[in-house]
């Protein structure tokens, strides 16, 4: 394994140098870096400015030499004492990158994770419901998302997801036609998800979906939930226990009593820790939260192991998952608690359209987190829309192919439940080819981030890149490129390792 | 009809474990409805080996998949499948699942793809145990080890932790046999279990299958297109053509006195165990099996049959006992000994008597092959 | 096995021998369709692909016939360069929804409205669509030629050609298309659009090459290639006569999908100001030019975007239909 990783690392470093060289040469030749200076009318001034820029950008030396210089700067930077070169105004690039790096990586990673989770989940369901209305709907929307120009989608989201939504939040009333429409959509969604074969079952699932959405909307509007959202201990407990049941259904099926009890116990552990810390978490810090999270998982796992009996491994898994879900619910509850203050602070317009943070904003951990979230939500939705389609399509076809494999038939012939056949035998094999897509798609997400950041006014790496390309200035472009290429290569290696983990056939080679 | 009704061709001594009655399977496709099985009937007695022979596409695999409940949801199934007298098709999915892999198990053709590549062999065997009985993993693994020992895999303990790709083809098929017998089933359906294997290991795997069958007291439905294998293992044989059984009887009877030209053709195109007589060629049946979407009028084998007459094109013969009449009686008159057809030897042919009268039934095909070559 | 069993009797495409026996007129009706017939039949059964085909043809005919092309005048009476007096604030006169304060289906004088100086926006959008289509087509042609050539060489000869291709692909994977496109667009965006399209095509061949390589790698081991080699056929003959026709499905599908990617890439680059430049125009550039007018003249933003989605969507659906048609594994059994 170590040898495998080392080999991949060496190849990646080679690829990295070739790619950076290619990129550097291309950027340096992308235009005339002195273009804007030719229009200066005063010949003396013009000559002086041209000379100055030529000197800063080393335009009198060959591109290859400039690249080697830049490499030296890069290595120095990695060593901890370099500038990553200077841009054409003479500013060191490293501090500019430092600011941009964290916000862009946050956006790109969040979008990638969200796209993988939603895309894979929807793709699996779509495959299991092949040729149903759910499948057709998902297929159609995947194609639409895949065909959306990202900048167009971003502008639309900004218009409707932020500006119009903020307006609506000022007086959050759902008009009756919209109310009926949403509820009907909920009903249709339930029908296609259940995939009933008789009209009775279809009618029942439609009514169920319709009423559920209607009830949620009614509760939301009657309790002023949008203005003062909250789950409270009751909400966290109810949702947490329901999640525990759902997790059991996925992990082992509800027939496995011990797993169900373990899963519920895991949720109860989470609830106890959530209630016990209610008074101390107002001034929480991330290390404290992570510590609590770890404690929750360990205790839930221990309880699961104690209860599990002959189903120990599945019981532990269910209990840990339930504990984690409750912890997540607690987090959501705390963020909801901070919401009214945050809305007031943002003058009633919480969903931001510009930047990655409100400048000079101070508040406790919950408020600053909310601030980041309200800024990142729309750009990341834009990016997710694009790669979501890739993941659903790919997962769907991979899952369909796996379901036709002989070993799935063998699993059925053994008398396994359909749940075990799908979750244990088909799902894991279907994931194997999806891992290779992650690395490929990541580059596309980085490219998309360049555009999204521009539309949402983020001072991220995308801005660094575009500015650099406009002005034919390699160092800022290369700063962007070093980070994105390194991230892609690293992700490739991780994907290879995950691949090897999922597929024992390539472990040894 | 009850379970007590003796099935056609069944040795009536003991109540059959598995009975298939008037089974039909159809698949709707873009080109039309494919009638893969058009009325399957057989019964398997305890500990009996029933061979099912036929060309690919004759419906032999599809009918056994129907028995296992492994057909896709689009398949339209009618008829009855009785396991120890209970109709499997009218059971709840949960009851059906309890039967699969527990009372009726299956061995597939291609051992290279029949095991999940990402789990160890031990895991997959233990899973079969634990899906039918609440035992800890350790106990299930112990049982898996015993089964690997039984099918003759050396160092079973260590092999439990190996992945399928670390096994050879023959070993994998042995592991599949181990998986099939791990829950002590009453019936094992073996769908071409040796076809995909190296010739050198085919015999060993066959031996293994037959010896473990005795160890667990199971009956076997052995599906193959290889008559040589049938001759070795089967007590009785059922010949399938175009989705229907066309001949059934004990292996000795069917092999010595085929009553359906298709069977005779199959026998003629198979190298015999004693070696082909000098100067004699193998004689293939000309033509291809009919499309199951639009079958020809009358006997489906008619277009390929050297004995075809007008009555063959008019009506499809049913599977029933075919005694000596007509030409055969003429043979008797000429002083030839009367061939006795056992009551359990059934065939679907209007002209069985001609085959019966012939000294070597396969000669009908010889004549044709000499003409074409 | 269960699902393939019925199909084997329905005639496997290209199954050796299956066709030979069926000529017998004795009631055997094994339907033996040629590969081309099967593909065509499956494609025309794919409703999404048919709709995509119809929409794409409509857009192409509309874009080229309305305002004319290459000196040939079109039937639309406004030019995409000359402003006319602004009527009704430049609002679109197209009306298709009779029940919302309209008069029913009406084309009107300026169906898509006018831009802020009075140029007819229908003419402008058609011009943009024309340009974008040309670029996408050029990208498709160039990428397909390069990708097929390199993929075929790498897949057939393996060895150094193959490792070179794989290393080049490795490098290209690390560079987002938009990023290298932006750099090239900065340099070549002002060139004539067909040439610019060709240059973008040089970027987008890698995915195609990898697919063609995979197809060649598996086909070169097939018996008919062995046979051709045994008969002493030259490498070029084997590649062009024996393998290439069998890879055609892979190539056509990949080429279609490259065109969809090209439409989106071009419009994104033009939006960033790093693609097509004024006085030339394209759908992406139109959106970029009028983005700030979203609140006052939203139609200037809607129309070009709608056309990009329409083109990309229909091309993607056609690609999906072609993939289904060429990939017999996906033959569906209706439930």
**B247: enclosing H helix or E strand:** strand B244-250
Give the pLDDT score at B280: 55
Listed by number, the residues of chain C in 254-313 with a beta carbon closer than 8 Å to a beta carbon of chain A are: 260, 264, 267-268, 271-274, 284, 287-288, 291, 294, 301, 305, 308-309, 312-313
Q: Between C325 and B273, whose confidence is greater?
A: C325
Chains contacting chain C through 3 or more C-beta pairs under 8 A: A, B
The verdict on B140 and B98 lying in the same domain is: no
> Per the CB < 8 Å rule, is A406 touching B100?
no
Sheet holding B236-241, edge to edge: B104-107, B187-191, B219-224, B49-53, B236-241, B244-250, B346-347, B320-321
Q: Is C191 in CB contact (< 8 Å) with chain A?
A: no
The verdict on B37 and B143 lying in the same domain is: no
Q: Is the pLDDT of residue A337 over 80?
A: yes
Give the pLDDT score at B281: 59
Q: Between B362 and C302, whose confidence is greater?
A: C302
Q: Residue with structure tokens 């026709």?
A: C245
Q: Is C316 in CB contact (< 8 Å) with chain A?
A: yes
pLDDT (tens digit per residue) in B306-323:
888 888 888 888 888 876
> Per the CB < 8 Å rule, is C6 touching B62?
yes
Cα-Cα-Cα-Cα torsion B263, B268, B271, B273, nearest 10 degrees, comes to: 60
Of A200-209, A388-397, C34-43, the poorest mean pLDDT is in C34-43
The verdict on B190 and B180 lying in the same domain is: no
Tell me the average pLDDT across A304-315: 88
Q: Is the pLDDT of residue A372 over 60?
A: yes
Q: Is the pLDDT of residue A232 over 80?
A: yes
Name the minimum distance, in Å, from the CA of B320 to any CA of chain A: 33
Q: Residue with structure tokens 């690249």?
A: A67
pLDDT (tens digit per residue) in C126-181:
888 998 999 999 999 999 999 898 888 888 888 887 888 778 877 887 888 888 88
> Per the CB < 8 Å rule, is B131 touching A415?
yes
Contact A146, A389 (CB under 8 A): yes
Q: What is the mean pLDDT of chain B?
A: 82
Residue B117 lies in a domain: yes
Give the pLDDT score at C205: 84
Of B117-121, C250-254, C324-328, the poorest mean pLDDT is in C324-328
Of B76-85, B336-345, C223-232, the poorest mean pLDDT is in B336-345
- Number of domains making up chain B: 3
Tell me the average pLDDT across C12-20: 33
Tell me the average pLDDT across A109-127: 93
> Per the CB < 8 Å rule, is C30 touching B302?
no
Contact B324, B305 (CB under 8 A): no
Name the minimum distance, in Å, from the CA of C156 to any CA of chain B: 28
> Per the CB < 8 Å rule, is A414 touching B128?
yes
Q: Is the pLDDT of residue C29 over 50?
A: no
Give me the residue from C3, C176, C186 closest to A447, CB to CB: C176
d(CA A333, CA A229): 8
The verdict on B204 and B334 lying in the same domain is: no
Confidence at C214, pLDDT banded by 50, 70, 90: confident
Name the minimum distance, in Å, from the CA of A410 to any CA of chain C: 12
Tell me the average pLDDT across A451-472: 88
The verdict on B178 and B191 lying in the same domain is: no
Of A289-303, B286-300, C10-24, C189-203, the poorest mean pLDDT is in C10-24
d(CA C108, CA C90): 12
List all residues 6 or more positions away from B260 whose beta carbon is below 8 Å from its beta carbon. B239, B246, B247, B301, B347, B348, B349, B352, B355
Instruction: Report percent pLDDT > 70 for chain C.
Output: 81
DSSP conformational letter for B86:
E
Q: Which of A329-338, B251-260, C117-126 has the largest mean confidence?
A: A329-338
Last residue within a domain, chosen from B210, B229, B256? B256
Q: Is the pLDDT of residue B86 over 80?
A: yes
pLDDT (tens digit per residue) in A4-23:
888 888 988 988 999 999 99
Q: Length of chain A in residues, anyone?
A: 509
d(CA B132, CA A327): 36
Listed by number, the residues of chain C in 20-59 with a beta carbon closer than 8 Å to a beta carbon of chain A are: 48
Q: Residue with structure tokens 């949801």?
A: B73
The verdict on B96 and B195 lying in the same domain is: yes
Q: Between C333 and C287, whose confidence is greater?
A: C287
Confidence at B362, pLDDT banded by 50, 70, 90: low
Q: Is the pLDDT of residue A298 over 90?
A: yes
Q: What is the mean pLDDT of chain A?
A: 87
Listed residue (A465, C301, B318, B107) closest to C309, CA to CA: C301
Name the minimum distance, in Å, from the CA of B13 to any CA of chain C: 34
The DSSP-derived string for B138-164 is: HHHHHHHHHHHHHTT-SSHHHHTTS-G
Tell me the average pLDDT across B32-60: 89
pLDDT (tens digit per residue) in C74-127:
777 777 777 777 777 667 766 655 555 555 566 667 777 777 777 788 888 888
List all residues 6 or more positions away from C73 whose beta carbon is below 8 Å from its beta carbon. none
> Per the CB < 8 Å rule, is A405 touching B110?
no
pLDDT (tens digit per residue) in C178-208:
888 888 888 887 888 888 888 888 888 888 8
Residue B62 lies in a domain: yes
Please report residues of C whose CB lies closer than 8 A to that of A465: 179, 182
d(CA B191, CA B225): 10
Chains contacting chain B through 3 or more C-beta pairs under 8 A: A, C
Q: Is the pLDDT of residue B4 over 60?
A: no
Of C18-22, C75-79, C167-171, C214-218, the poorest mean pLDDT is in C18-22
> Per the CB < 8 Å rule, is A505 touching B108?
no
Give the pLDDT score at A227: 78
Q: Report residue C4 as tokens.
A: 């393939």
Q: Report residue A456 as tokens.
A: 């949402």
Listed by number, the residues of chain C in 164-183 with a beta carbon closer than 8 Å to a beta carbon of chain A are: 167, 170-171, 173-180, 182-183
Give the pLDDT score at A260: 93
CATH of the domain at B198: 3.40.50.300
Please report residues of A whose CB lies closer than 8 A to that of B68: 413
Name the minimum distance, in Å, from the CA of A92 to any CA of chain C: 22
Tell me the average pLDDT across B321-337: 57
Q: What is the mean pLDDT of chain C?
A: 77
Residue B370 CB: number of other CB atoms within 10 A? 10
The verdict on B130 and B41 lying in the same domain is: no
d(CA B68, CA B65): 5
A:B CB pairs within 8 Å: 75
Listed by number, the residues of chain A in 350-409 with a beta carbon closer than 8 Å to a beta carbon of chain B are: 405-407, 409
Q: How do the domains of chain A map onto residue ranges?
A: 173-225
Cα-Cα-Cα-Cα torsion B155, B157, B159, B161, nearest 10 degrees, comes to: -160
Q: Is A417 in CB contact (< 8 Å) with chain B?
A: yes
The verdict on B93 and B194 lying in the same domain is: yes
Residue B261 lies in a domain: no
In terms of Cβ atoms closer than 10 Å to its own Cβ (0-12, 13-18, 19+), residue A42 is: exposed
Last residue within a domain, chosen from B184, B202, B222? B184
d(CA A494, CA C206): 22
B248-252 contacts, C-beta under 8 A, 24 or more apart:
B248/B8, B248/B9, B248/B42, B248/B319, B248/B344, B248/B345, B248/B346, B248/B347, B249/B9, B249/B342, B249/B344, B249/B345, B249/B346, B249/B347, B250/B342, B250/B344, B250/B345, B251/B51
Helices (H), ranges, A29-89: 43-56, 63-79
pTM above 0.95, yes or no: no
Residue B351 lies in a domain: yes
Helices (H), ranges, A223-256: 232-251
Mutation to test the A interface, candidates C46, C47, C168, C179, most A Cβ within 10 Å: C179
Question: What are the backbone dihedrals phi and psi of residue C207, each rounded to the nearest 5 degrees, phi first?
Answer: -65, -40
> Per the CB < 8 Å rule, is C284 touching A16?
no
Helices (H), ranges, C158-222: 159-174, 177-188, 193-203, 206-219
Q: Give the distance, in angstroms, between the CA of residue A336 and the centroid of all CA atoms in the same chain.
A: 21
Contact C265, C189 (CB under 8 A): no
> Per the CB < 8 Å rule, is A446 touching C176?
yes
Chains contacting chain A through 3 or more C-beta pairs under 8 A: B, C
Give the pLDDT score at C329: 53
The verdict on B55 and B135 lying in the same domain is: no
Domains and CATH numbers, chain C: 56-329 (1.10.3720.10)
Q: Is B77 in CB contact (< 8 Å) with chain C?
A: no
Q: Length of chain C in residues, anyone?
A: 335
- Cα–Cα distances in angstroms (integers) from residue C288 to residues B11, B58, C123, C291, in the given order: 85, 64, 17, 5
Please report residues of C whose CB lies closer than 8 A to that of B289: 9
Instruction: Report percent pLDDT > 70 for chain B.
Output: 83
Instruction: Report percent pLDDT > 90 for chain A.
Output: 28
pLDDT (tens digit per residue) in C52-76:
999 999 999 888 888 777 777 777 7
Mutation to test the A interface, candidates C51, C169, C175, C308, most A Cβ within 10 Å: C175
Name the minimum distance, in Å, from the CA of C9 to any CA of chain B: 6
Helices (H), ranges, A147-256: 150-157, 165-170, 176-194, 199-222, 232-251
Q: Give the distance, in angstroms, between the CA of residue A260 and the centroid of all CA atoms in the same chain.
A: 30
B:C CB pairs within 8 Å: 88
DSSP conformational letter for A158:
I
d(CA C177, CA C200): 10
Q: Is the pLDDT of residue A246 over 80?
A: yes
Instruction: Report percent pLDDT > 90 for chain C.
Output: 10
d(CA C188, CA C170): 25
Give me the residue from C167, C183, C329 closest to A26, CB to CB: C183
Name the minimum distance, in Å, from the CA of A268 to any CA of chain C: 44
Please report residues of C whose CB lies closer than 8 A to that of A15: 167, 170-171, 174
Q: Which of A84-93, A304-313, B168-177, C186-195 has the largest mean confidence?
A: B168-177
Domain range spanning residue B209?
1-103+186-256
Of A254-263, A481-490, B361-370, C248-257, the poorest mean pLDDT is in B361-370
Name the closest residue on chain B to residue A402, using Cα atoms.
Answer: B116
Listed by number, the residues of chain B in 95-154 with a beta carbon closer than 8 Å to a beta carbon of chain A are: 97-102, 105-106, 108, 110, 113-118, 127-128, 131-132, 134-137
Q: Is B74 in CB contact (< 8 Å) with chain C?
A: yes
Q: Length of chain B in residues, anyone?
A: 373
Give me the residue from A429, A502, A505 closest to B165, CB to CB: A505
The verdict on B179 and B191 lying in the same domain is: no
Q: Between B29 and B358, whose confidence is greater?
A: B29
> Per the CB < 8 Å rule, is B30 touching C7?
no
Name the minimum distance, in Å, from the CA of B146 to any CA of chain C: 31
Contact B54, B240 (CB under 8 A): yes
Per DSSP, the three-state class of B104 is strand
The verdict on B40 and B52 lying in the same domain is: yes
Q: Between B83 and B355, whose confidence is greater?
A: B83
**A440: enclosing H helix or E strand:** helix A427-455
> Per the CB < 8 Å rule, is A413 touching B163?
no
Q: Is the pLDDT of residue A181 over 60?
A: yes
Tell me the average pLDDT across A77-92: 78
Tell me the average pLDDT across B350-371: 65
């Amino acid at each position: 394994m170590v040898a495998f990783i080392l080999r991949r690392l060496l190849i990646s470093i080679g690829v990295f140098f070739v790619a950076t060289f290619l990129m550097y040469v291309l950027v340096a030749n992308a235009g005339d870096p002195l273009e804007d200076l030719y229009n200066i009318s005063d010949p003396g001034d013009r000559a002086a400015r041209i000379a100055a820029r030529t000197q800063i950008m080393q335009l009198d030396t060959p591109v290859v030499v400039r690249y080697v210089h830049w490499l030296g700067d890069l290595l120095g930077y990695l060593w901890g004492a370099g500038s990553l070169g200077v841009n054409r105004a003479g500013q060191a690039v490293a501090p500019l990158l430092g600011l941009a790096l964290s916000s862009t990586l946050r956006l790109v990673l969040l979008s990638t994770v969200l796209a993988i989770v939603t895309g894979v989940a929807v793709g699996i369901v779509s495959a299991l419901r092949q040729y149903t209305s759910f499948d057709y709907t998902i297929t159609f929307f995947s194609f639409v998302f895949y065909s959306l120009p990202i900048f167009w989608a971003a502008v639309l989201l900004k218009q409707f997801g932020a500006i119009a939504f903020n307006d609506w939040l000022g007086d959050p009333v759902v008009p009756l036609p919209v109310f009926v429409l949403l509820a009907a959509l909920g009903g249709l969604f339930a029908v296609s998800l259940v995939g009933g074969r008789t009209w009775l079952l279809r009618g029942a699932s439609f009514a169920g979906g319709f009423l559920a959405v209607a009830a949620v909307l009614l509760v939301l509007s009657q309790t002023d939930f949008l203005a003062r959202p909250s789950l409270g201990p009751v909400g966290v407990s109810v949702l947490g226990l329901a999640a525990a049941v759902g997790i059991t259904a996925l992990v082992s099926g509800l027939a496995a009593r011990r797993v169900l009890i373990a899963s519920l116990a895991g949720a109860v552990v989470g609830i106890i820790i959530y209630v016990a810390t209610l008074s101390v978490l107002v001034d929480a810090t991330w290390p404290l939260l992570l510590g609590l999270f770890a404690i929750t998982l360990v205790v839930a796992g221990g309880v699961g192991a104690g209860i599990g009996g002959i189903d120990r491994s599945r019981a532990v898994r269910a209990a840990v998952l339930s504990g984690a879900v409750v912890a997540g619910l607690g987090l959501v509850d705390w963020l909801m608690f901070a919401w009214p203050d945050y809305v007031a602070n943002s003058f009633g317009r919480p969903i931001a359209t510009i930047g990655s943070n409100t400048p000079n904003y101070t508040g406790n951990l919950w408020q600053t987190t909310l601030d980041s979230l309200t800024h990142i939500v729309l750009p990341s939705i834009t990016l997710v829309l694009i790669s979501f389609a890739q993941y659903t399509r790919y997962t769907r076809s991979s899952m369909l192919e796996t379901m036709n494999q002989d070993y799935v038939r063998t699993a059925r012939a053994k008398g396994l439940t359909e749940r075990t056949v799908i979750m244990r035998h088909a799902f894991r094999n279907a994931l194997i080819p999806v891992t290779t897509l992650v690395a490929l798609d990541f580059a596309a997400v980085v490219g998309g981030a360049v555009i999204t950041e521009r539309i949402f006014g983020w001072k991220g790496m995308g801005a660094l890149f575009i500015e650099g390309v406009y002005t034919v200035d390699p160092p800022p472009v290369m700063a962007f490129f070093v980070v994105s290429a390194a991230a892609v290569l690293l992700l490739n290696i991780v994907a290879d390792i995950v691949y090897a983990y999922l597929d024992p056939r390539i472990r040894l080679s | 009809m009850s379970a007590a009704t003796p099935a056609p061709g069944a040795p009536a001594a003991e109540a059959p474990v598995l009975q298939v009655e008037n089974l039909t399977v159809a698949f709707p496709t873009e080109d039309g409805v494919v009638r893969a099985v058009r009325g399957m009937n057989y019964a398997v007695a305890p500990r009996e080996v029933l061979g099912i022979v036929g060309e690919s596409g004759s419906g032999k695999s599809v009918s056994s998949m129907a028995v296992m409940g492994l057909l896709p949801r689009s398949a339209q199934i009618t008829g009855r499948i009785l396991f120890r007298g209970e109709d499997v098709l009218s059971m709840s999915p949960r009851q059906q699942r309890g039967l699969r892999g527990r009372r009726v198990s299956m061995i597939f053709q291609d051992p290279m793809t029949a095991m999940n590549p990402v789990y160890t062999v031990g895991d997959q065997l233990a899973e079969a145990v634990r899906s039918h009985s609440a035992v800890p993993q350790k106990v299930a693994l112990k049982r898996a080890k015993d089964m690997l020992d039984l099918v003759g895999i050396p160092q079973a303990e260590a092999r439990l932790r190996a992945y399928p790709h670390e096994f050879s083809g023959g070993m994998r098929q042995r592991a599949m046999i181990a998986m099939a017998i791990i829950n002590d089933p009453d019936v094992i359906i073996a769908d071409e279990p040796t076809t995909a294997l190296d010739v050198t290991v085919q015999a060993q795997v066959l031996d293994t299958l037959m010896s473990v069958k005795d160890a667990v007291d199971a009956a076997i439905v052995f599906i193959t297109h290889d008559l040589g294998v049938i001759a070795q293992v089967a007590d009785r044989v059922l010949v399938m053509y175009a989705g229907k059984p066309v001949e059934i009887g004990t292996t000795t009877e069917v092999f010595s006195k085929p009553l359906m030209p298709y069977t005779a053709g199959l026998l003629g195109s198979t190298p015999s165990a004693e070696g082909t007589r000098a100067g004699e060629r193998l004689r293939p049946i000309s033509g291809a099996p009919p499309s199951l979407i639009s079958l020809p009028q009358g006997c489906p084998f008619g277009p390929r049959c050297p004995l075809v007459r007008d009555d063959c094109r008019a009506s499809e013969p049913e599977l029933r006992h075919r005694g000596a009449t007509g030409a055969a009686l003429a043979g008797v008159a000429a002083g030839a000994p009367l061939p006795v057809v056992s009551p359990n030897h059934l065939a679907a042919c209007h002209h069985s008597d001609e085959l019966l009268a012939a000294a070597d039934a396969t000669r009908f095909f010889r004549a044709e092959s000499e003409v074409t070559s | 096995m269960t699902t393939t069993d019925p199909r084997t009797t329905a005639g496997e495409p290209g199954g050796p021998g299956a066709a030979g026996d069926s000529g017998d007129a004795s009631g055997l009706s094994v339907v033996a369709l040629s590969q081309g017939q099967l593909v065509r039949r499956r494609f025309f059964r794919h409703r999404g692909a048919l709709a995509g085909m119809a929409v794409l043809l409509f857009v192409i005919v509309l874009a080229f016939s309305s305002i004319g092309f290459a000196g040939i005048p079109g039937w639309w009476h406004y030019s995409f360069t000359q402003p006319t007096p602004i009527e009704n604030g430049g609002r679109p006169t197209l009306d298709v929804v009779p029940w919302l304060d309209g008069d029913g289906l009406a084309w009107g004088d300026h169906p898509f409205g006018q831009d802020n100086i009075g140029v007819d926006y229908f003419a402008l959008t058609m011009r943009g669509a024309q340009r974008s289509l040309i670029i996408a087509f050029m990208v498709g042609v160039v990428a397909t030629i390069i990708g097929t050539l390199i993929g075929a060489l790498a897949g057939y000869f393996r060895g150094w050609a193959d490792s070179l291709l794989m290393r080049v692909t490795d490098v290209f994977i690390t560079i987002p298309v938009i990023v290298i496109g932006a750099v090239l667009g900065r340099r070549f965006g002002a060139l004539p659009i067909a040439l610019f399209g060709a240059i973008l095509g040089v970027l987008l061949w890698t995915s195609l090459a990898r697919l063609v390589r995979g197809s060649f790698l598996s086909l070169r081991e097939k018996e008919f290639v062995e046979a051709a080699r045994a008969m002493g056929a030259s490498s070029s003959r084997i590649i062009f006569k024996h393998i290439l026709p069998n890879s055609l499905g892979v190539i056509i599908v990949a080429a279609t999908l490259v065109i969809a990617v090209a439409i989106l890439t071009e419009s994104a680059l033009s939006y960033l100001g790093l693609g097509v430049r004024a006085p030339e125009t394209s759908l992406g550039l139109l959106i970029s030019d009028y983005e700030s007018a979203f609140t006052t003249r939203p139609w200037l933003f809607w129309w070009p975007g709608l056309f990009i989605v329409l083109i990309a969507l229909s091309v993607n659906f056609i690609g999906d239909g072609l993939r289904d048609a060429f990939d017999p594994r996906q033959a569906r059994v209706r439930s």
